[in-house]
């Protein structure tokens, strides 16, 4: 069973004032004593996380979170704060971990810990199906949309520093004329679907997310090769090395026994748990 709680930005910001960082053992003790693991997630990020037809959270990230909770022997509770609040750290016990396809960048590592990379995904550009753009070079000077506070807008601003072992190197191959940022990738696609150049010339997102949108009827097509491959990690608040160690141990077990691979193949059709 997983419980979904929608958290308003104002309430989250108010509760963030003067909230201390987690103390050693505090998060793990809270999870084990309450028998509840609280995970932050995004209800509009398919196929990673979304509300299904039964109005329940579903997706690859959700399944990974469920498996972590199962191996801890606790129930999973899901909350849905905004992305900028999740990446801002200083959670103050409002949730225990984020399994939200988060890239461990250098700036995020200042306020969060990344105990376990669980898969890798290619970042790709998409354009409207009627667009004449057919290469990355054609994107120079164009209006490109991405989620705000994500690795995608950081890449477009040439300010992306991935802080994770095994992350493949990359080059900045696109010079956007204008960068438009949105709360979620779905909102980017919504603007792109209005027509070629109507509001956007291109979208920049995770390739599986783009492919899922196309499968769902969005009139888009992928352009060029992936711009970079991003390692995606479980994130935790600073201050509880015991909890981090437990997450590291569980994800390593899931990788070793094939669970991560099976979940990746279930949702993506391929194994994204290793770098291409």
Containing structural domain, residue 135: 121-230
- The closest of 125, 2, 146, 135 to 61, measured between CA atoms, is 2
173 and 241 housed in the same domain: no
Percent of the chain with pLDDT over 70: 91
* Rg from Cα positions in the chain: 18
86 and 16 housed in the same domain: yes
Instruction: Please tell me the predicted confidence (pLDDT) of residue 9.
Output: 39
Instruction: Please tell me the predicted confidence (pLDDT) of residue 88.
Output: 95
Q: Is 275 among the domain residues?
A: no
**Whole-number Cα distances in Å, 73 to 17, 21, 22, 254:** 32, 25, 22, 15
114 and 211 housed in the same domain: no
Instruction: Please tell me the predicted confidence (pLDDT) of residue 276.
Output: 58
Q: Is 193 among the domain residues?
A: yes
58 and 132 housed in the same domain: no
Q: What's the whole-model pTM score?
A: 0.77
162 and 209 housed in the same domain: yes
φ and ψ at residue 175, rounded to 5 degrees? -115, 95
Q: Count how many domains the chain has.
A: 2
Q: Is 273 among the domain residues?
A: no
The tokens describing 269, both together, are: 């059709």
Q: Is 274 among the domain residues?
A: no
Q: Is 219 among the domain residues?
A: yes
Residue range 131-190, pLDDT digits in tens: 999 999 999 999 999 999 999 999 999 999 987 877 888 999 999 999 999 999 999 999
Q: Is 188 among the domain residues?
A: yes
**114: burial class by Cβ within 10 Å (0-12, 13-18, 19+)?**
buried
Q: Is 152 among the domain residues?
A: yes
pLDDT band at 208 (very low <50, low <70, confident <90, very high): very high
138 and 90 housed in the same domain: no
Q: For residue 237, how many other CB atoms are within 10 A of its CB?
A: 25
CATH number of the domain within which 81 lies: 3.40.190.10
Instruction: Please tell me the predicted confidence (pLDDT) of residue 241.
Output: 96
């Amino acid at each position: 069973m997983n419980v979904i709680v929608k958290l308003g930005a104002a309430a989250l910001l108010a509760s963030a004032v003067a909230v201390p960082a987690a103390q050693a053992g505090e998060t793990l003790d809270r999870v084990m004593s309450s028998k509840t693991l609280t995970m932050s997630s995004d209800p509009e990020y398919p196929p990673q996380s979304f509300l299904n037809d039964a109005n329940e959270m579903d997706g690859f990230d959700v399944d990974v979170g469920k498996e972590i909770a199962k191996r801890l022997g606790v129930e999973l509770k899901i909350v849905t704060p905004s992305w900028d609040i999740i990446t801002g750290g200083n959670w103050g016990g409002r949730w225990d971990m984020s399994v939200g396809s988060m890239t461990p960048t250098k700036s995020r590592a200042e306020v969060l810990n990344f105990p376990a990379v669980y898969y890798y995904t290619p970042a790709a550009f998409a354009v409207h199906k009627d667009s004449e753009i057919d290469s990355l070079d054609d994107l120079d000077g164009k209006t490109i949309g991405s989620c705000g506070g994500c690795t995608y807008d950081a890449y477009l601003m040439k300010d992306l520093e991935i802080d994770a072992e095994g992350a493949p190197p990359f080059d900045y191959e696109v010079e956007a004329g204008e960068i438009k940022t949105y709360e979620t990738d779905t909102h980017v696609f919504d603007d792109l679907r209005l027509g070629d150049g109507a509001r956007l010339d291109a979208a920049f997102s995770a390739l599986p997310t783009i492919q899922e949108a196309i499968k769902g009827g969005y009139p888009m097509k992928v352009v060029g090769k992936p711009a970079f491959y991003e390692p995606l990690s479980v994130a935790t608040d600073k201050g509880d090395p015991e909890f981090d160690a437990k997450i590291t141990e569980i994800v390593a077990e899931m990788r070793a026994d094939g669970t991560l691979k099976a979940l990746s193949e279930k949702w993506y059709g391929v194994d994204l748990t290793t770098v291409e």
